[in-house]
């Protein structure tokens, strides 16, 4: 029988701890604040940002949501980030991606202070992840690691195959697994014979955005499947990159979509924001 790793349940537990810590800070007269910048009208981005802001509220974290028209200039956006960097009352800064084409996303991400980069996308954090000790881990790979931890999975010595090589998920995921002693392969759209890789894997991480792509015939008996994909089908329903039904009885564990990695990603954003606040408090206190 395949067991489900419920992101909703795990998120509830971790968020309750985060709420307590945020509450303790409030009792000490300290706020915890995340600034979220949303540019343009991308419908998926609006949904994600709404969910992030709502999760902040539920945990007692203040959120400042700044929405800008798609025609905002890069210079204006960079100026706003600079102001937020300097604002001692703001602990985390998140710029929702993708940005409109005329804006250089790299320049925008690099403008965020690495100490407020709760997405973990800044090159200082990405580089530090490579060498072992970032200030912030990217939220989705961090969430996947927490889900593996929740089932006490022995990562050391496991063979992990990641399908998808993005900067946000695939690449940092590989580094986190590697640090824990896994042997890791990252597959991409040019990979020859993808199934030959996934069939050998103890852990498969799916992060490509292709509905129901991973089938029972592509995995070995007893594999753990972590599904990062969130795809909307024509009938309006959400599904992952792994075929949840087809994998029943073949996978040992699987994360559902919805209710899997999604709520955990937001949870790790809240965790990073709390850590940013604790850290920045200390710096502000000393200056």
Question: 196 vs 170, 214, 279, CA distance in Å?
Answer: 19, 12, 45
- The smaller minimum CB distance to ligand GUN, of residues 173 and 219, is found at 173
Kindly tell me the burial class for residue 194, based on how many C-beta atoms sit within 10 Å of its own C-beta (0-12, 13-18, 19 or more): middle
Kindly tell me the burial class for residue 282, based on how many C-beta atoms sit within 10 Å of its own C-beta (0-12, 13-18, 19 or more): exposed
* Distance in Å, CB of 202 to ligand GUN, minimum: 26
Using CB under 6 A as the binding rule, whether residue 97 contacts ligand GUN is answered as yes
- Degrees to nearest 5, angle at CA 185 with 183 and 186: 145
How far is 36 from 161, CA to CA, in rounded Å? 32
Subset of residues 160 to 189 that bind ligand GUN, contact rule: CB under 6 A? 168
Binding footprint of ligand GUN, residue count (CB under 6 A): 8
DSSP label at residue 89: T
Residue nearest to ligand GUN (CB): 97
- The smaller minimum CB distance to ligand GUN, of residues 18 and 139, is found at 139
CA dihedral 21, 22, 25, 30 (to 10 degrees): 160
* Distance in Å, CB of 48 to ligand GUN, minimum: 6
Q: Tell me the residue length of the chain.
A: 287
Report the candidate in 88, 106, 86 with the shortest Cα–Cα distance to residue 98.
106
* Distance in Å, CB of 172 to ligand GUN, minimum: 11
Taking each helix axis as running N to C, give the angle between helix 261-286 and helix 43-59, from 0 to 180 degrees, rounded to the nearest 10. Answer: 60
The set of residues, in sequence order, having a beta carbon less than 8 Å from that of 27 and lying 6+ positions away, is none
Using CB under 6 A as the binding rule, whether residue 119 contacts ligand GUN is answered as yes
Catalytic residue among 13, 20, 41, 52: 52
Subset of residues 38 to 77 that bind ligand GUN, contact rule: CB under 6 A? none
Q: Is 52 a catalytic residue?
A: yes
Residues 197-216: x where in contact with ligand GUN by CB under 6 A, - otherwise, as a string? --------------------
- The smaller minimum CB distance to ligand GUN, of residues 95 and 224, is found at 95
* Distance in Å, CB of 61 to ligand GUN, minimum: 16
Single out the segment in contact with ligand GUN by CB under 6 A; choices: 4-12, 66-74, 88-96, 181-189. Answer: 88-96
Using CB under 6 A as the binding rule, whether residue 94 contacts ligand GUN is answered as yes
The set of residues, in sequence order, having a beta carbon less than 8 Å from that of 270 and lying 6+ positions away, is 15, 18, 55, 56, 59, 61
Using CB under 6 A as the binding rule, whether residue 96 contacts ligand GUN is answered as yes
Single out the segment in contact with ligand GUN by CB under 6 A; choices: 95-103, 176-184, 222-230, 252-260. Answer: 95-103
H/E segment holding residue 125: helix 123-131
Catalytic residue among 116, 117, 119, 202: 119
Single out the segment in contact with ligand GUN by CB under 6 A; choices: 82-90, 93-101, 156-164, 232-240. Answer: 93-101
From candidates 55, 93, 139, 206, binder to ligand GUN by CB under 6 A: 139
**Under DSSP, is residue 253 helix (H, G, I), strand (E, B) or coil?**
strand
How far is 35 from 82, CA to CA, in rounded Å? 12
- List, by residue number, the catalytic residues: 52, 96, 119
Binding site for ligand GUN (CB under 6 A): 94-97, 119, 139-140, 168
């Amino acid at each position: 029988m395949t067991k489900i790793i419920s992101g909703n349940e795990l998120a509830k537990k971790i968020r309750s701890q985060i709420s307590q810590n945020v509450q303790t800070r409030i009792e000490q007269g300290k706020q915890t604040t995340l600034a979220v910048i949303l540019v343009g009208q991308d419908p998926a981005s609006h949904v994600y940002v709404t969910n992030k802001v709502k999760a902040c509220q539920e945990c007692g974290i203040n959120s400042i949501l700044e929405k800008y028209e798609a025609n905002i200039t890069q210079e204006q956006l960079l100026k706003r980030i600079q102001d937020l960097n300097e604002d001692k009352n703001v602990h985390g800064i998140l710029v929702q991606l993708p940005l409109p084409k005329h804006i250089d996303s790299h320049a925008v991400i690099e403008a965020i202070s690495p100490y407020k980069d709760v997405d973990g996308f800044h090159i200082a954090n990405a580089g530090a992840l490579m060498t072992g000790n970032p200030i912030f881990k990217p939220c989705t790979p961090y969430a996947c690691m927490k889900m593996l931890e929740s089932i006490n999975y022995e990562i050391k010595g496991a063979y992990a195959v990641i399908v998808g090589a993005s900067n946000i998920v695939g690449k940092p995921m590989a580094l986190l697994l590697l640090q824990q002693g896994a042997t890791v392969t990252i597959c991409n759209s040019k990979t020859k014979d993808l199934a030959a890789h996934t069939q050998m894997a103890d852990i498969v991480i799916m992060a490509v955005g292709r509905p129901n792509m991973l089938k029972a015939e592509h995995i070995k008996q007893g594999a753990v499947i972590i599904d990062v994909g969130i795809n909307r089908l024509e009938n309006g329903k959400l599904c992952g990159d792994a075929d949840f039904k087809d994998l029943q009885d073949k996978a040992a564990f699987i994360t559902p979509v919805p209710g899997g990695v999604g709520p955990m990603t937001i949870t790790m954003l809240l965790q990073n924001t709390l850590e940013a606040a604790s850290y920045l408090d200390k710096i502000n206190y000393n200056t």
